[in-house]
Structure 1
Amino acid sequence: MSVFDWLKKAEQLGEQELAQARPPATDVQALEQQVIQVLRTIYDPEIPVNIYDLGLIYALDVQASGAVMLRMTLTSAACPVAQTFPDTVECAVNGVPGVTEARVELVWEPPWTREMMSEAARLELGML
């Protein structure tokens, strides 16, 4: 049951039924680490660095229900996979055990810069 289905059902149920219908709580920190591990397996199509260390993930929100919301950008709006890459990321995150639903929002503000890369990414690219 997705979070949105659960919310719809919550509107229809009384207090007692709502408590019984609530999805089980998830260890948020452990799930967040698993999501980050998966994000580190997804590479930018033009730069040989994963999207997490590249700094393309602007926000990662993991809920106890297992819902995961991501805000991400791309290195350029002219990226050849700009239309499909967010779906790729969403599918990968949906595959993490414990994730009940993943949503990816592609944003362009603030624009991505090299300074957003992790130290490991800069080292890998010879920028240190």
Structure 2
Amino acid sequence: MADNETVWTQEEIDGIKEHIVAALEQVIDPELGIDIVNLGLVYEVELYDGGKCIIKMTLTTMGCPLADVITEQIIQALKEVPEVTDSEVQLVWYPAWTTDRMSRYARIALGIR
């Protein structure tokens, strides 16, 4: 570990992750008009000492033409979290996304029962 890396307690990491998720709630899927968190697209948020953040997420479809747009929006949103010094988005396809991953809010907004 480099001397200039910040070391956080688990409680601090949990708090920072909450801020990260709040920032990700500002990233709206352009086709559905709902944020990626409520759509259930974010699978994992990893935060490392020193501020590196890795977002593991999926998309509603494997061939989504807006993957680059959403990825760039995520990178921009994470710049609003002061503790995040570097970020990376990793697209994963397992488990496959289904509407079951959506929050109640997203289901109501999209008229899905």
Computing the radius of gyration from Cα coordinates, the structure with the larger value is 1
* TM-score normalised by L of structure 2: 0.84
Structure 2, gaps ≥5 residues long? none
Deviation of 1:96 (Å): 1.2
Residue of structure 1 in register with 2:7 after alignment = 25
Q: Which secondary structure state, in structure 2, belongs to the residue aligned with residue 105 of structure 1?
A: strand
- The 8 Å contact of residues 73 and 108 in structure 1, kept in 2 or not, is answered as yes
1:106 aligns with 2:91: yes
Greater percentage in helix: 1
Tell me how far apart the structure 1 counterparts of residues 68 and 34 of structure 2 sit (CA, whole Å): 20
Deviation of 1:95 (Å): 3.0
| Equivalent in 54, 69, 73 of residue 58 of structure 2 | 73
Structure 1, gaps ≥5 residues long? 1-6, 11-20
Q: Which has the higher contact order (CA 8 A, sep 6+)?
A: 2
* TM-score normalised by L of structure 1: 0.75
Tell me how far apart the structure 2 counterparts of residues 83 and 41 of structure 1 sit (CA, whole Å): 16
User: Equivalent residues in 2 for 1:57-96 (5 A)?
Assistant: 57-96=42-81
Tell me how far apart the structure 1 counterparts of residues 6 and 92 of structure 2 sit (CA, whole Å): 31
Identity %: 33
Total equivalences in the alignment: 110
Deviation of 1:91 (Å): 2.7
* RMSD of aligned residue pairs (Cα, Å): 1.8
Question: Which 10-residue stretch deviates more, 90-99 or 111-120?
Answer: 90-99
Deviation of 1:69 (Å): 1.0
Deviation of 1:39 (Å): 0.6
